[in-house]
């Protein structure tokens, strides 16, 4: 549904951005909007978010901002658009926004290749014990080549299980096929047969079954009440001894205590983690494990990706301010009166 043409356009909407963006994007925002930037890049407190939402036409939050129902209920009457920087919107109460007729937009597809590249780096790096090897060299503990030293697992012929076969999951499958991995996946529904053939991917209709046959499991699904802790102790126990788990999606998809227990027992050989349930806190037991790659949520951290996402945010704001439907509207049934 499109926005009503009768709505008065806003020539220079007041825009508040909650985090520091790349210079090119911030410079363009200064040209186009009455913008308040967070140059210090210090996350806003809840009170600061509440104050911002009282004083703007457009809020530009990121995944670090929790925009819940109470904050939305207390927003000022001029707030008409929450233009999220990033694809995920689970940190925004979409139902509450709909109730207030506040539009929500995101930037889908921008970080697909970047996130898939990082996931692939860990899919390679964990079985080959890259972190452990670099640690030996950095600490001066490497004593030289030996036929039995730091043996990892070969990728070719192993089963890569992909949970979530959207844009990123498909991009990972495309990359993984070049390394000789067998691709199995779980999704809410199977991909079209032609796309499965192109990716060399096989649908598995049950998460339990997928985990039981995976040598490497990689997560690429959104965080919902149904997917929270979907990888728990029971499901990890189904996995092959010596298998590994990769997560570049959301930390809460995994029961962290169950993951740590499986790593410490040796049931899992390793893990690659870019996200955590209580960011920026990372459990010391994960950091201490020699074969856990702990990265600081950098799946989308490329100059190109962050610039593209920022320009998508700008496009959404400009279309909304001109009285039109933003191209990346999340709730298409919303109408701003």
Each of the 337 residues of the chain gets a pLDDT tens digit; together they read 344 444 689 999 999 999 999 999 999 999 999 999 999 999 999 999 999 999 999 999 999 999 999 999 999 999 999 999 999 899 999 999 999 999 999 999 999 999 999 999 999 999 999 999 999 999 999 999 999 999 999 999 999 999 999 999 999 999 999 999 999 999 999 999 999 999 999 999 999 999 999 999 999 999 999 999 999 999 999 999 999 999 999 999 999 999 999 999 999 999 999 999 999 999 999 999 999 999 999 999 999 999 999 999 999 999 999 999 999 999 644 433 3
Q: CB-based contacts of 171: which residues, under 8 Å, 6+ apart?
A: 112, 113, 115, 116
d(CA 157, CA 155): 6
The superfamily in CATH containing domain 111-294 is NAD(P)-binding Rossmann-like Domain (3.40.50.720)
Q: For every residue of 48-107, which 3-state class applies, written as one string?
A: HHHHHHCCCCEEECCCCCCECHHHHHCCCCCCCEEECCCCCCCCECHHHHHHCCCEEECC
Give this prediction's pTM: 0.91
Active-site option among 11, 24, 279, 304: 279
Are 104 and 336 within 8 A, CB to CB?
no
Active-site option among 100, 297, 311, 336: 297
Question: Can you give the residue ranges of every domain in the chain?
Answer: 14-109+302-322, 111-294
pLDDT value of position 336: 36
Active-site option among 175, 250, 289, 306: 250
Kindly calculate the radius of gyration of the chain based on its CA atoms and give it in whole angstroms: 22
Residue 297 annotated in active site: yes
Q: To which residue do tokens 């227990």 refer?
A: 261
pLDDT value of position 331: 67
As its CATH architecture, domain 14-109+302-322 has 3-Layer(aba) Sandwich (3.40)
């Amino acid at each position: 549904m499109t926005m009503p043409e009768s709505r008065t356009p806003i020539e220079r909407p007041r825009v508040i951005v909650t985090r520091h963006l790349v210079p090119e994007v911030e410079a363009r925002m200064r040209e186009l909007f009455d913008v308040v930037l967070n140059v210090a890049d210090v996350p806003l407190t809840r009170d600061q978010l509440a104050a911002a939402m009282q004083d703007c036409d457009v809020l530009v939050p990121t995944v670090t901002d929790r925009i819940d129902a109470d904050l939305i209920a207390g927003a000022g009457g001029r707030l008409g658009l929450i233009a999220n920087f990033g694809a995920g919107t689970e940190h925004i109460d979409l139902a509450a926004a709909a109730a207030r007729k506040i539009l929500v937009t995101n930037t889908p597809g921008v970080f697909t290749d970047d996130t898939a590249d990082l996931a692939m780096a860990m899919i390679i790096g964990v079985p080959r014990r890259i972190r452990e090897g670099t640690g030996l060299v950095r600490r001066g503990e490497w004593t030289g080549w030996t036929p039995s030293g730091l043996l990892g697992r070969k990728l070719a012929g192993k089963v890569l299980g992909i949970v979530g076969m959207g844009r990123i999951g498909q991009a990972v499958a495309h990359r993984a096929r070049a390394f000789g991995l067998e691709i199995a996946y779980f999704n809410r529904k199977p991909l079209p047969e032609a796309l499965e053939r192109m990716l060399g991917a096989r649908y598995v209709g049950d998460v339990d079954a997928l985990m039981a046959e995976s040598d490497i499991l990689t997560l690429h699904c959104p965080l919902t009440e149904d997917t929270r802790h979907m990888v728990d102790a029971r499901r990890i126990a189904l996995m092959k001894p010596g298998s590994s788990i990769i997560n570049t999606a959301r930390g809460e998809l995994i029961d962290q205590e169950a993951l740590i227990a499986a790593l410490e027992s040796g049931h899992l050989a390793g893990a690659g983690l870019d996200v955590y349930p209580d960011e920026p806190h990372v459990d010391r037991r994960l950091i201490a494990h020699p074969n856990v790659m702990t990265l600081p949520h950098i799946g989308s951290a490329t100059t190109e990706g962050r610039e593209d996402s920022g320009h998508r945010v700008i496009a959404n704001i400009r279309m909304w301010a001109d009285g039109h439907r933003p191209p990346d509207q999340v709730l298409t049934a919303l109408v701003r009166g």
